[in-house]
Amino acid sequence: MNPLPHTQSVQAVAWQQWFVAIAAVGIGLIILVQGRVFLVPLAIAVLLFSLTSAARDRIARLRIGSVRMPNWLASLIGIGFIMAAMLTVFSIIAGQIDAVIAAGPAYVARGQELVTSVFAWLGHDVATAVVAAIEDIDLPAYVRALAGSAGYSLATAILILLYVGFLFAERAYFTSKMANLFPEADRAARFERLVESITKSVHRYILIKTVVSVLTGLLVYAVMQTFGLEFAETWALLTVFLNFIPNVGSIVATALPTLAALVQFESWTPVVLIFTFIGLIQFSVGNLIEPGLMGRSLNLSPFVIILSLTFWGAIWGIVGMFLAVPIMVMVMITCSHVPSLHPIAVLLSRDGVPMPEEDAE
């Protein structure tokens, strides 16, 4: 019996599987890129719903004497907290826009002086060309464009809140849907363990990252206020958000106030001190406090985190960089629960053990 036809058929099936896999990846990338206007608010809404749902469950367990807090009231408190946080952020941004526009010409003039002094050693012609290029920059126009982006972001935030509200309305039917989706008790139990492991890891990561980022923002704000740096509220708010981006965010959050101080102050002393103190805060919080709080709950490889930041940043921009780590945590935990995908989870993990022992099956 000639085994050649059988071998050829096996190879043909293998090539078909590879073709289907490549086509699926390509279609997935096209959907992620072209559908980002819809998918980004939806992804943020699902994440906020998950966090708010966990907070709502904790609030609902509270008792005032013998009276238990109703679920609907706990849900309203959770959504109200999200709305209050968003409104606070947008009010800070809106309050700083006019001040930035007013101070724009002075900052541009000071920047021209600094650039001239820096490029003077390259020759008068080079310095003149660089200054001419800076003069063409319309800073107020950029600020107004950012204000327009803030208005668009406010509309997106309202859409996200609507998504979260309707997800809460659908929550009562999740159990029955899962029961019909997985009628076998064993598969339902595995899926429940998977969802519980993902939500537990993501919630812990977001909670710790939020506490650490807010702490960093407050400390940085205190430093900037001490030295009289203008727009300290804006820089502190940016510090809070940028610290959600691993590795890269803290560097940018240190560089931006330092550049602002370089433009504002005539002397190098406050610039060096602001850079030193902010750098020490970022280093101490990021390398001492955060790892101690995080423990092994985030067991992603640092190289995988950088790749994830690059990939999701290219796909969804700055929002993708914020969501990169939670998405990769979900991918790693999902792969760790699927035997055929377990090698991928091992590669994504830092130490080859993708699941903390308390979360392992």
Cα–Cα–Cα angle for 125, 126, 132, rounded to 5 degrees: 90
Shared domain check, 234 and 104: no
In the predicted structure, residue 14 carries a pLDDT above the cut 70 = no
| 339 and 194 co-located in one domain | yes
Residue 63: strand, helix, or coil:
strand
Q: Are residues 195 and 173 in the same domain?
A: no
Report if residue 330 sits inside a domain: yes
β strands within 213-292, DSSP E: none
Q: With contact defined as beta carbons under 8 Å apart, do 77 and 56 qualify?
A: yes
CA distance 68 to 71: 9
Whether the model clears a pTM of 0.85, i.e. scores above it, the answer is: no
Residue 5 lies in a domain: no
Q: Which of 27-31, 54-58, 88-92, 280-284 has the highest mean pLDDT?
A: 280-284
Q: Round to whole Å and give the CA distance between 282 and 20.
A: 46
Q: What does the alpha-carbon distance between residue 333 and residue 199 come to, in Å, rounded to a whole number?
A: 10
pLDDT of residue 281: 92
Residues 164 and 188 in one domain: no
Distances (CA, A) of 211 to 50, 240, 286: 18, 10, 12
Q: 322 lies in which domain range?
A: 184-361
Pair 193, 319 in one domain: yes
Q: Of 167, 156, 151, 155, which Cα lies nearest the Cα of 40? A: 156
Q: What distance in Å separates the CA atoms of residue 181 and residue 19, rounded to the nearest whole number?
A: 29
- As for how many domains the chain has, the answer is 2
Domain limit, last residue, from 129, 149, 181: 181
Q: Are residues 211 and 350 in the same domain?
A: yes
Q: Do 201 and 327 lie in a common domain?
A: yes
pLDDT tens for 164-218 read 878 877 777 777 777 777 777 777 778 778 878 788 878 788 888 888 888 999 9
Q: Do 190 and 313 belong to one domain?
A: yes
Dump pLDDT digits (tens) for 38-84: 888 888 888 888 777 777 777 777 776 677 777 777 777 777 777 77
278 has a pLDDT exceeding 90? yes
Q: Are residues 194 and 342 in the same domain?
A: yes
Same domain, 61 and 142: yes
Residues 214 and 106 in one domain: no
